[in-house]
């Protein structure tokens, strides 16, 4: 059984073709600069293996349909592809960023579902319209292939009201749907499940704090496999400090900034999303560049790293209190999986909570799930590589099975 996973942006999309028997990626790729004079397609067969075969081409992709048509041709190409016919694709799994309160689990896409996703666009104006476009294109090109929407927010739908409500006048929740939704849910759910598996326990038995640290960063408190709280909010701007996003700040700052500088609300929004975070402090947002700058004695880079780790530590403390008992602290995504310095700094001084890092284990580079805490530690500190695409493919498979669709 083969499932095509689509992650669509406004002028680009990524795709992966999964073999669900072997859990291997058969082909993957990226189409970018859709709508520009010259677009670019990078396609890989057997990615990240010794047999990898990479095709990259410049082309004109006036819209997503044109890009997707080219991908379909590559997927069935005798050299570059992995399919004889497109009908071998059993289903498509689409990443959809905002599912609102309407979608607490992945859903088979029907006209009604698509209409409801459209209605959620005001809550995610940059993301949901792009996701919808991807769904519409696939429905046009592969009309007989079932499509499943997998929402970034769905894992967080188990949060209780005390965690998701903001202390604003209640009518803004009712009328404007202002509440915490949380994001990166596919990753948090996948990593919490893998952490339980690593400990040899069922997800229901395990409490985990998951630190997803990539360009975007979010922390979640997972009790018995269900999300109890998460750091991102109405939008992915909230929570810990990120590459270019400020994370939690005094909510009075935007109005104060506007009054002081005359900047418009839209300009301030862009400033908080794209010019703040690590980049705002030291001008760099890639953690590897920040380490290089720290090594050269750059004081602002050191401050940015220090602030970043401190903001994560504070969430770990908060979520320890939320959960009461913590079995595992799991690091994932680009920084979480690769950066031993961040992991060690975040955990420094938490021995009183039973959280500690074994330096030798922490310094090992590997792409396998692993423990980096000392043997017998009260809390297992783990590094768990995330795999949002596999989680999306599995969710799509689950939805179709539940609906009794034979694949
Ligand atoms: P995205 O959120 O876009 O999926 P990733 O999960 O790929 O992002 O994470 C990107 C971040 O991971 C960047 O800050 C990058 O510097 C960091 N990163 C990647 N590899 C390393 C590494 N070896 N050491 C430290 N940081 C790394």
Yes or no: say if 237 and 217 are a contact pair by the CB < 8 Å rule. no
My answer on whether 269 and 126 are in the same domain is no
Q: What values do phi and psi take at 251, rounded to 5?
A: -65, -10
pLDDT tens digits for 18-29? Answer: 999 999 999 999
Residue 1 has pLDDT above 80, yes or no: yes
Average of per-residue pLDDT across 122-136: 89
My answer on whether 329 and 205 are in the same domain is yes
Query: How many whole angstroms from 134 Cα to the centroid of ligand 1?
Result: 26
Could you tell me how far CA 264 lies from the centroid of its own chain? 29
- Structure confidence at residue 9 (pLDDT): 87
Distance CA 127, CA 242 (A): 18
Best residue among 214, 244, 290 to mutate for probing ligand 1, ranked by most atoms within 8 Å of CB? 214
Yes or no: say if 98 and 124 are a contact pair by the CB < 8 Å rule. yes
- Structure confidence at residue 125 (pLDDT): 85
Q: 107-116, 151-160, 397-406: which range is least confident on average?
A: 397-406
Tell the residue nearest (CA) to atom 12 of ligand 1: 334
In a domain, 223, yes or no: yes
Residue 405 has pLDDT above 80, yes or no: no
pLDDT classification of 156: cutoffs 50, 70, 90: very high
Provide the CATH number for the domain around residue 209: 3.30.420.40
pLDDT tens digits for 41-54? Answer: 999 999 989 999 99
Residue 371 has pLDDT above 80, yes or no: yes
- Angle value at C-alpha 161, between 157 and 165, nearest 5 degrees: 100
Q: Is the CB of 388 under 6 A from ligand 1?
A: no
pLDDT tens digits for 326-352? Answer: 999 999 999 999 999 999 999 999 999
Yes or no: say if 67 and 58 are a contact pair by the CB < 8 Å rule. no
My answer on whether 256 and 318 are in the same domain is yes
Average of per-residue pLDDT across 170-179: 97
Query: How many whole angstroms from 230 Cα to the centroid of ligand 1?
Result: 21
Task: State the pairing for strand pair 2-8/89-96.
Answer: parallel
In a domain, 76, yes or no: yes
- Structure confidence at residue 126 (pLDDT): 81
Q: What values do phi and psi take at 211, rounded to 5?
A: -110, 100
The candidate with the shortest Cα–Cα distance to 186, out of 400, 22, 26, 398, is 398
- Structure confidence at residue 248 (pLDDT): 98
Q: Is the CB of 333 under 6 A from ligand 1?
A: yes
The mean pLDDT of the chain is 96
My answer on whether 118 and 239 are in the same domain is no
- Ligand 1 atom at minimal distance to the Cα of residue 215: 2
Q: Is the CB of 335 under 6 A from ligand 1?
A: yes
My answer on whether 207 and 146 are in the same domain is no
In a domain, 87, yes or no: yes
In a domain, 399, yes or no: no
My answer on whether 285 and 346 are in the same domain is yes
Marked catalytic residue, from 152, 229, 327, 339:
152
My answer on whether 217 and 311 are in the same domain is yes
Bridge partners (DSSP) of residue 223 are 207, 226
pLDDT classification of 127: cutoffs 50, 70, 90: confident
The candidate with the shortest Cα–Cα distance to 276, out of 303, 244, 306, 247, is 244
- Ligand 1 atom at minimal distance to the Cα of residue 289: 16
152 labelled catalytic: yes
Burial annotation 120-154 (CB, 10 A radius, 16+ → b, else e):
bbebbeebbebbbbbbbbbbeebeebbbbbbbbbb
pLDDT tens digits for 202-246? Answer: 999 999 999 999 999 999 999 999 999 999 999 999 999 999 999
Tell the residue nearest (CA) to atom 21 of ligand 1: 338
Q: Is the CB of 336 under 6 A from ligand 1?
A: no
Average of per-residue pLDDT across 82-104: 96
My answer on whether 218 and 81 are in the same domain is no
Residue 407 has pLDDT above 70, yes or no: no
In a domain, 286, yes or no: yes
My answer on whether 139 and 205 are in the same domain is no
Average of per-residue pLDDT across 124-138: 90
Listed residues 135, 151, 167: the one ending a domain: 151
In a domain, 45, yes or no: yes
The candidate with the shortest Cα–Cα distance to 240, out of 208, 221, 222, 217, is 217
Q: Is the CB of 46 under 6 A from ligand 1?
A: no
My answer on whether 234 and 380 are in the same domain is yes
Domain membership of residue 26 as a residue range? 2-151
Q: Is the CB of 338 under 6 A from ligand 1?
A: yes
In a domain, 49, yes or no: yes
Count: domains in the chain: 2
Run of H or E residues at 22: none
Which SS3 state, helix, strand or coil, does residue 92 take? strand
Tell the residue nearest (CA) to atom 4 of ligand 1: 214
My answer on whether 133 and 207 are in the same domain is no
My answer on whether 354 and 208 are in the same domain is yes
Q: Is the CB of 215 under 6 A from ligand 1?
A: yes
- What is the CB neighbour count within 10 angstroms for residue 263? 15
Average of per-residue pLDDT across 251-257: 98
pTM above 0.75, yes or no: yes
- Structure confidence at residue 406 (pLDDT): 59
Residue 393 has pLDDT above 60, yes or no: yes
Tell the residue nearest (CA) to atom 3 of ligand 1: 215
Query: How many whole angstroms from 216 Cα to the centroid of ligand 1?
Result: 10
In a domain, 319, yes or no: yes
């Amino acid at each position: 059984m083969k499932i095509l996973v689509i992650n669509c942006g406004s002028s680009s999309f990524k795709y992966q073709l999964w073999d669900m028997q072997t859990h291997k990626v058969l082909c993957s790729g990226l189409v970018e600069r859709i709508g520009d004079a010259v677009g670019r397609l990078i396609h890989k067969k057997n990615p990240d293996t010794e047999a990898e075969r990479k095709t990259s081409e410049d082309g004109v992709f006036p819209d997503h349909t044109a890009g997707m048509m080219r991908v379909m041709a590559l997927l069935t190409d005798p050299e570059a592809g992995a399919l004889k016919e497109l009908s071998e694709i059993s289903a498509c799994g689409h990443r959809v960023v905002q599912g609102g309160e309407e979608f607490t689990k992945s859903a088979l896409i029907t006209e009604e579902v698509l209409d409801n996703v459209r209605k959620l666009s005001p809550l995610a104006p940059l993301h949901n319209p792009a996701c919808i476009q991807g769904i519409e294109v696939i429905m046009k090109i592969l009309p007989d292939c079932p499509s499943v929407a997998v929402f970034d927010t769905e894992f967080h739908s188990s949060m209780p009201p005390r965690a998701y409500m903001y202390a604003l006048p209640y009518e803004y929740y009712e009328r404007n749907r202002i509440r915490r939704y949380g994001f990166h849910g596919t990753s948090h759910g996948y990593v919490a499940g893998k952490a339980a598996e690593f400990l040899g326990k069922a997800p229901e038995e395990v409490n985990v704090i998951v630190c997803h640290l990539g360009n975007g960063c979010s922390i979640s408190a997972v009790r018995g496999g269900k999300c109890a709280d998460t750091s991102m909010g109405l939008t992915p701007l909230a929570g810990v400090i990120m590459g270019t996003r400020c994370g939690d700040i005094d909510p009075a700052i935007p109005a104060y900034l506007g009054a002081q500088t005359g900047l418009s609300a839209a300009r301030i929004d862009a400033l908080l999303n794209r010019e703040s975070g690590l980049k705002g402090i030291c001008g760099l947002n890639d953690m590897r560049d920040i380490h290089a700058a720290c090594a050269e004695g750059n004081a602002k880079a050191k401050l940015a790293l220090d602030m970043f780790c401190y903001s994560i530590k504070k969430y770990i403390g908060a979520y320890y209190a939320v959960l009461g008992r913590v079995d595992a602290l799991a690091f994932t995504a680009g920084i979480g999986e690769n950066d031993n310095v961040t992991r060690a700094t975040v955990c420094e001084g938490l021995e009183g909570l039973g959280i500690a890092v074994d330096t030798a284990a922490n310094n090992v580079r590997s792409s396998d799930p692993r423990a980096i805490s000392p043997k017998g530690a009260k809390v297992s500190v783990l590094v768990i590589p995330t795999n949002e695409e596999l989680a999306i493919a599995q969710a799509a498979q689950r939805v179709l099975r539940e609906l009794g669709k034979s694949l």
